[in-house]
Chain A
Amino acid sequence: SKGPSDTSDSKSQPDDGKTVEGPRVAYSSVGDPNPWFLAFSAELEKEAEKRGFNFRVTHAQAKVEKQIADVEDIVVQKPDYLVLGPVETKGSADALRIAKKAGVPVIVVNRDIDGIAGEDFVTKIYSDFEWIGEKMCELVHDAFPADAKEIKVVELHGTAGGGNTIGMQKGLRKKMEAYPNMKIVSSQPGNFDRATAMKAMENIIQSGVEFDAVVGHFDEESIGAIQALKADGKKTGSNPAEGEIIVVGNGGTKDGLKAVKAGLYHNIVSVTPYYAGQVFDAIEAHAKGEELPEYIRVDDIVINKENIDEHMASGF
């Protein structure tokens, strides 16, 4: 990754953004202190360098109002493209209008946004969260014997209002209709954060609710749950017959992979941050005047005990 020394170098020779010739791309990041966003941002930067783009980034610190201000500042510099990772579906939509007014085409990444493709923005590129939700549901279901009477699930969900949270919640519940023996017994906010999830889990355990499986909207939440369960003397793993609790989540972080390898974390549905290539492909295609679909899906996979070794290096 880009080390501190790089930055201080570029700082010592103040540039006005014209050091690298070539199209100028600005990225407005959610800027959440979550490793995913940093990995994604680093990917974009690497890819930009590879393809000879001039790249800059602002971090919104997960605040909608800051993102709007960031985009205002960005368009003053008139970049050729704006890559927008919306903090929030509704709130960030005005960034599209600002960019449009300034004539800067927008590629939406990470999550959904309120807006019309082809009009407000060029295209949107991100994982299919509803599919991830459905997949997680399926993985939990399949971990139990087909004749299991009741599968009681605890959901530790992400930040309210986020496109990914909404997508996963929707997918999970939709798929559950197909499995009448599955039931959500508690759904608490984990806010994509390990400490929050861990506290929530501890209190759920203490409240005496019985459950067989945990679904985390992100690895951090799943790990928090695994930790809390372990401290309470409960086992997690892939074998419900031995009283192990099935933990399934979404992610692909280093810790998540480690936990899968250790056999404590049943399955992960990945949410890959490594699709900068697709983003720049889209930019280049648009620059050439090609038609683009309104949504470009980022493909995710299931990581489990069998394929963990080949994915171990991809943790973020």
Chain B
Amino acid sequence: MTSKPDAPAVETGMLKPIKATEVFRKYESMFFFVVLIILNAFITPEFLEWGTLRNTLVQVFPVMMVALGMTMVISSGGIDISVGSIMAISGATTARLYVTGVSSLGLEPVGLAPALACGVAAACMCGFLNGILIAKCKIQPIIVTLVVMIAGRGLAQIILGELSTSLLFTSFADFGSLRIGGVIPVQMLIVVVIVAAMIFVVKKTNFAKRVEAIGDNRRAARLVGINTVWVTVGVYTLCGLLCSIAGNMEAARISVVNVGSLGLLVELDAIAAVAIGGTAFSGGKARIMGTVFGAIVVQLVTIIVNMNNIPDKYSLLFKAVIVIIALWTQRKK
């Protein structure tokens, strides 16, 4: 009323009732999720069971954590392909301190909590380094994270002092396969907490707005006084933090830290999850719930293939098709 007496023919009425296609776009990853569930309820025996849900969530855990970090990175207009190596570095740091100790420094193995703290710190450092190289040295994100991806595994091996360290029969490994009350895997609990925290961050904080602004127009962001260097560093550090959760929990679950294979190729699934989730690759709004369902959809494909005894090679094709359909339906005209 008060505004625009001579505004153009804006039909306020039209904007309110949201169109079906828009609903679809907004909740698209969830739509795929539902379709996959329904489809499988018919074709896959034993599909609609608690065990399947549990398997899905436990197996998708590292991908989901990494994808959440990746969502923020992509929202800032960047990309991080070093996530798998950061998982390995984090796991290696924890395992070295927790299992082996550092004999050359006369360091005996330490307790789980300090070891984990160091593991998390190491991953954050890697993220920090990524951010500095990108924002300060102005090297393109894909190259910086490629370097960290390559060098990271070597570094992880040096940290660990060997290729793989076993966590078998340790209380950390027990934690990794812990089921609360004998039913709910501990991973599920962590997912709920982290996702809630991420949603809060994205919906409510200045930080997320600044990240989005940088992703949308870096130059303009600088001119409204956003410290683009530190926000970028913050984003990659956050991604590192989430990688550390992924890396350590996965190591605990499989009870080994093998720096050659921990987190290997996780970046592909994570990127696919973000894409299905609808976060734009040109930067912009981070869509956390989209990524969550995107990750589950990616994982469901693998699980379905396994459960139906379809040769593994087809799951690659299925993933490709799903990502394409997802992106095709949410494309902007």
Cβ distance B172 to chain A, nearest Cβ, rounded Å: 13
Is B166 touching A195 in the complex (CB atoms < 8 A)? Answer: no
How many residue pairs, one in A and one in B, have C-beta atoms under 8 Å apart?
Answer: 84
Q: Which of A172-218 contact B (CB under 8 A)?
A: 186, 188-189, 193-195, 198-200, 202-208
Confirm or deny: A223 has a beta carbon within 8 angstroms of a beta carbon on chain B.
Answer: yes
Expressed in whole angstroms, the Cα–Cα distance for A207 and B163 within the complex equals 33
Is A259 touching B168 in the complex (CB atoms < 8 A)? Answer: yes
Chain B residues with CB below 8 A from A223, complex form: 168, 255-256
Pick out which of these stretches binds chain B: A31-39, A112-120, A121-129. Answer: A31-39
Is A258 touching B169 in the complex (CB atoms < 8 A)? Answer: yes
Q: Which of B168-214 contact A (CB under 8 A)?
A: 168-169, 177, 179
> Quick one: which of A33, A200, A254 contacts B260, CB cutoff 8 A?
A33
Chain B residues with CB below 8 A from A254, complex form: 166
Chain A residues with CB below 8 A from B312, complex form: 188-189
Is A207 touching B309 in the complex (CB atoms < 8 A)? Answer: yes
A194/B258 contact (C-beta < 8 A), A208-B45, A254-B166 known = yes
**Which residue of chain A is the closest to B179 with respect to CB atoms?**
A231
Expressed in whole angstroms, the Cα–Cα distance for A259 and B58 within the complex equals 24
Chain B residues with CB below 8 A from A189, complex form: 312
Q: Which of B247-265 contact A (CB under 8 A)?
A: 250, 253-256, 258-262
Is A206 touching B255 in the complex (CB atoms < 8 A)? Answer: no
Expressed in whole angstroms, the Cα–Cα distance for A4 and B104 within the complex equals 11
**Which residue of chain A is the closest to B250 with respect to CB atoms?**
A195
Confirm or deny: A20 has a beta carbon within 8 angstroms of a beta carbon on chain B.
Answer: no
Number of residues from B at the complex interface, CB < 8 A: 36
Confirm or deny: B307 has a beta carbon within 8 angstroms of a beta carbon on chain A.
Answer: yes
Is A224 touching B51 in the complex (CB atoms < 8 A)? Answer: no
Expressed in whole angstroms, the Cα–Cα distance for A186 and B261 within the complex equals 24
Expressed in whole angstroms, the Cα–Cα distance for A186 and B311 within the complex equals 11
Confirm or deny: A150 has a beta carbon within 8 angstroms of a beta carbon on chain B.
Answer: no
> Quick one: which of A38, A193, A206 contacts B163, CB cutoff 8 A?
A38
Expressed in whole angstroms, the Cα–Cα distance for A151 and B158 within the complex equals 45
Chain A residues with CB below 8 A from B302, complex form: 199
Cβ distance A255 to chain B, nearest Cβ, rounded Å: 5
Residues of B within 8 A of A (CB): 44-46, 49, 51-52, 55, 58-59, 153, 158, 162-164, 166, 168-169, 177, 179, 250, 253-256, 258-262, 302-303, 306-309, 312
The list of the 7 closest CB pairs from A to B, nearest first, reads A33-B260, A203-B306, A207-B307, A208-B46, A255-B166, A231-B177, A195-B254
